[in-house]
Amino acid sequence: MDSDKMKNKKVLLIIGGIIVVLLLALGGYFYLNKGKDSSSSTTRANIKSQISDIDWASYDSNEITLDGKSVKITEAGTYTLTGEISDGLIEINTDGKVKLILNGVTITNSKGPTINVVNADTVEIETVKGTTNTLTDGSSYTGYDEDVNACIFSKDDLILSGEGTLNVTANYEDGIVSKDDLKITGGTYIINAKDEAIRGKDSLEITGGEFTITAKGDALKSTNDTDTDKGFILISGGTFNIEATNDGI
C-alpha cells in the first residue's frame, strides 16, 4: 500500500513539474511578445520599401574618372565611377539621394574609410556586371568621427546592389556599416574584416547575392536593441560562405 502511495506521489510530482515548465514557457512567451502586434511586420515592410523604391532614372547622371585623389559628392544624383584612388576616399554629404555605380574601381585609404556617407537621404552602391571593385581601408583612422569604423560607412540608409564583384578589406574594424537600414539585393561580396563584416544598426535585409566572409568578430549583425520594430536581420535569398570568430549571424 505504501509502495502504491509513493508511486502515485511520484506521478503527481512529475505532472506538477510539467505544468510548472509549461507555465514558465508561456510566461516567457508573453513577456517577450508584450506590446507586439501585426504593426511590427507592417513597419518592417515600410522600412524595406522606403529604401528600395527609388526612381533613379529621374536623377541627374554623372560620370567620374577617379585620378588618384579623393572625391566629395554634395549633390543628389547617380555617379558612375571608374579608375583608382591611391590614398583617399569617396565622401558623400548631401540632403538628397545618391547612387554610386562602381565600374571597375580601386580605392585605398591609409587613414580612414574608402566610402564615407556623412549625410544623405539614401545611398545605393551598385557594382557593374563583369567588373571587380576593390576597397581597402587603413589600420587606423585619422580625422573622422568616433563612430566611423568601417571600410564602407554610412550614417544613413544604404543599399548594395548590382551583378559585379566587391572586394572589401577592412583593416581597421568593420567591413560595411549603415547606422540606419542596410539592404543588399545582389552582387558578389568578398569581405575580410578585422571585426564585423556587415552591420545594419536598425536592420539588415538580404534578398540576394553571393557572400564569402572572413570576420574576426561577427559576420552579419544588427544592433538596435531599444526599438521593438528595429534591430532585425531578414534573409530571403543569397548564398553564404562564412568564417567568423564570433557569431555568423
What rounded mean pLDDT belongs to the chain?
86
pLDDT the model gives residue 14: 38
CA distance 116 to 43: 28
pLDDT of 11 > 50? The answer is no
Task: Take residue 213 and report the three cell numbers written for it.
Answer: 566572409
* pLDDT average, residue stretch 71-91: 98
Mean pLDDT of 4-20: 42
> Is the CB of residue 160 less than 8 Å from the CB of residue 183?
yes
8 A C-beta contact, residue 144 and residue 113: yes
pLDDT category, 2, cuts 50, 70, 90?
low
Q: What is the CA radius of gyration of the chain?
A: 24
Taking 80 as the threshold, does the pLDDT of residue 136 lie above it?
yes
Residue 105 grid coordinates = 574601381
Rounded to an integer, the average pLDDT of 194-222 is: 98
Grid cell listed for 93: 554629404
Overall average pLDDT of the 10-30 stretch: 38
pLDDT at 193 over 70: yes
